[in-house]
Amino acid sequence: SKSWRKIKNMVHWSPFVMSFKKKYPWIQLAGHAGSFKAAANGRILKKHCESEQRCLDRLMADVLKPYVPAYHGDVVKDGERYNQMDDLLADFDSPCVMDCKMGVRTYLEEELTKARKKPSLRKDMYQKMIEVDPEAPTEEEKAQRAVTKPRYMQWRETISSTATLGFRIEGIKKEDGSVNRDFKKTKTREQVIEAFREFTKGNRNILIAYRDRLKDIRATLEVSPFFKCHEVIGSSLLFIHDKKEQAKVWMIDFGKTTPLPEGQTLQHDIPWQEGNREDGYLSGLNNLIDILTE
């Protein structure tokens, strides 16, 4: 029975582990390096995060459940704790993947407040800033060759489509495994439309399937108790399609999604002013739907 068990395990593991590296370069590139591990039975392990676990638990009992990865609790593997969830890519054949980070800002209000309390000058952030736009720093910042973190955080949202369209493309993985993360300055509607066109090779069926799925997500968000009472920051919509024209979108990454105080709710589609905690998630989703309708 021991050798049978070994074979059974190999059957579960081998194809997944073999394809894991091929399938998941985008994960390693979406700022998650080292936080994922393969698991058996078409599941995936993501480094444990308390707030993400809380959200996933709640989402399993919310109307949004069909649009998030099915959650199977936490597990310990090699001394590390992980959240265990469905591998969204399991049913796709050589999938193309796009990660869109949602909302008009990707930091929590408290991160801004915290950064303001000790606004030390950051040379590393100045460096990142001039790499994207040498003209971005003020004269004073150029003289110091440094910027404060709050300044950098707010500037970063204005160079992409985050501040204007309420979402930004984080990265795209094509079916051949090649990855493009060069979307920091993708800001205009036209640039986003072009990126989607390239991502789907202009396939109308895939574009329509994506648009319809987004409309379903929007209709569900509008009646979701979870969505109403959470500030959703740094969460992404994951677009996946393959050559069989299967196309799906899921909501992922809830590490920065925070419950509001009892009795408070958000509209998710009105401008953010510091203190109102609005995240602009629906504004971004509406813009995505419009872009895919063109």
CATH number of domain containing 78: 3.30.470.160
* Same domain assignment for residues 62 and 113: no
Check whether residue 26 and residue 172 sit in a common domain: yes
Tell me, yes or no, whether 154 and 254 share the same domain: no
Domain shared by 94 and 180, yes or no: yes
CA 234, CA 73: separation in Å to the nearest integer?
Answer: 22
The predicted pLDDT at position 179 comes to 86
Q: Which of 158, 174, 198 is the last residue of a domain?
A: 158
Assess whether 100 and 136 both reside in one domain: no
Same domain membership, residue 131 and residue 13? no
pLDDT digits (tens), the chain, 294 positions:
554 444 444 444 444 444 455 555 545 545 555 678 878 788 889 999 999 999 999 999 999 999 999 999 999 988 999 999 999 988 898 899 999 999 999 999 999 998 899 888 999 999 999 999 999 999 999 999 999 998 998 999 999 999 999 999 999 999 888 888 889 889 999 999 999 999 999 999 999 999 999 999 999 999 999 999 999 999 999 999 999 999 999 999 999 999 999 999 999 999 999 999 999 999 999 999 999 998
Last residue of a domain, one of 158, 179, 195: 158
79 with 196, same domain? yes
Q: Which domain holds residue 113?
A: 109-158
Strand partners, 239: 98, 249
Do 46 and 177 lie in one domain? The reply is yes
* AA letter at 254: F
The pLDDT value recorded for residue 35 is 79
The pLDDT value given to residue 13: 42
- Do 100 and 167 contact (CB within 8 A), yes or no? yes
Domain count, the chain: 2
Indicate if 33 and 136 belong to the same structural domain. no
Q: 3-class SS at 12?
A: helix
Quick one: 140 and 187 in the same domain?
Answer: no
Per-residue confidence (pLDDT) for residue 31, from 0 to 100: 52
Tokens of 242: 């393959």
